[in-house]
């Protein structure tokens, strides 16, 4: 048995895919080239995650704050998402990958919304890795929508306010039914969560890598998984690792 097969693998990995534009700028290319190269990295990372035994992979594809970008760039991102789903959905389905979409779908263009729903419905019965795409997603917005959902239940008399606890909130989030991330990765050297899975990442291990997203290879991913396996996750308790006397 290889060392890789023996190491601890996170059940759920979430990635903030950052640095497409800066990758392109560093090469004197338009930002759109960085986004296109980033889609290739998505394909490679999904494959690497499946081969590593990761059960859930969440990718931050488009944040609710990304609407502030120039319209042309937003349209490019939408076009790349559509191209990715149309090109890769059949292969993902054949590999038994289940697709889940999180984020606010209400204000999306109908063509985007219908395509995302189609991807979810077509792969709903798959039992392989779950690929979670965070699109038009912001964690504060998600929590606010969950709170409003619970408030409506209280107003309708179906829920006692005293019964609202952490589990009720968790079950009202977009990620209901998905385990919390064990590992959150951000590329490009930035060291912040940027409104991504704030509730769910309470006990996640955080890894910040200097590589721009288009340079995030399978080898870099494997290195991050190796670093994760060496972490001592205590969840507020004592270490499970043997500590030498006097240390």
To the question of whether residue 18 is assigned a binding role by annotation, the answer is yes
Q: Which two tokens stand for residue 74?
A: 């937003």
To the question of whether residue 38 is assigned a binding role by annotation, the answer is no
**What is the rounded distance in angstroms from the CA atom of residue 97 to the CA atom of residue 112?**
20
To the question of whether residue 19 is assigned a binding role by annotation, the answer is yes
To the question of whether residue 205 is assigned a binding role by annotation, the answer is yes
**What is the rounded distance in angstroms from the CA atom of residue 180 to the CA atom of residue 56?**
10
To the question of whether residue 96 is assigned a binding role by annotation, the answer is no
To the question of whether residue 20 is assigned a binding role by annotation, the answer is yes
To the question of whether residue 157 is assigned a binding role by annotation, the answer is no
To the question of whether residue 193 is assigned a binding role by annotation, the answer is yes
Just list the catalytic residues.
18, 66
**What is the rounded distance in angstroms from the CA atom of residue 88 to the CA atom of residue 65?**
26
DSSP, res 7: S
To the question of whether residue 22 is assigned a binding role by annotation, the answer is yes
Q: Is 241 exposed, middle or buried (0-12, 13-18, 19+ CB in 10 A)?
A: exposed
To the question of whether residue 201 is assigned a binding role by annotation, the answer is no
The angle that helices 71-94 and 31-52 make with each other, rounded to 10 degrees, is 30
To the question of whether residue 88 is assigned a binding role by annotation, the answer is no
Whether the Cβ atoms of residue 90 and residue 118 lie closer than 8 Å to each other: no
Beta bridge partners of 63: 137
**What is the rounded distance in angstroms from the CA atom of residue 220 to the CA atom of residue 214?**
11
Among the listed residues 146, 136, 151, the one whose alpha carbon sits nearest the alpha carbon of residue 106: 136
| Binding-site residue ranges for substrate | 19-23, 31, 35, 63-65, 67, 69, 186, 192-194
| Binding-site residue ranges for Mg(2+) | 18, 205
| Binding-site residue ranges | 18-23, 31, 35, 63-65, 67, 69, 186, 192-194, 205
């Amino acid at each position: 048995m290889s060392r890789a097969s023996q190491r601890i693998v996170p059940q759920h990995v979430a990635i903030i895919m950052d640095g497409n534009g800066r990758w392109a700028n560093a090469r004197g290319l338009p930002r759109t080239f960085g986004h296109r190269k980033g889609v290739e990295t998505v394909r490679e990372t999904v494959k690497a995650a499946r081969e590593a035994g990761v059960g859930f992979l969440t990718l931050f594809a488009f944040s609710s704050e990304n609407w502030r970008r120039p319209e042309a760039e937003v349209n490019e991102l939408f076009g790349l998402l559509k191209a990715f789903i149309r090109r890769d959905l059949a292969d993902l389905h054949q590999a038994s990958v289940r697709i889940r979409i999180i984020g606010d779908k209400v204000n999306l263009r109908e063509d985007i919304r219908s395509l995302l729903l189609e991807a979810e419905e077509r792969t709903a019965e798959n039992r392989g890795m779950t690929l979670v795409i965070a699109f038009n997603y912001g964690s504060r917005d998600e929590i606010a929508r969950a709170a409003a959902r619970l408030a409506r239940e209280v107003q309708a008399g179906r829920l006692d306010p005293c019964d609202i606890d952490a589990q009720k909130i968790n079950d009202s989030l977009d990620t209901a039914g998905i385990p919390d991330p064990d590992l959150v990765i951000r590329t490009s050297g930035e060291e912040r969560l940027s409104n991504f899975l704030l509730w769910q990442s309470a006990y996640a291990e955080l890894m910040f890598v200097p590589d721009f997203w288009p340079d995030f290879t399978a080898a870099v991913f494997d290195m991050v998984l190796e670093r994760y396996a060496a972490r001592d996750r205590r969840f507020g308790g004592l270490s499970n690792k043997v500590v030498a006397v006097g240390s």
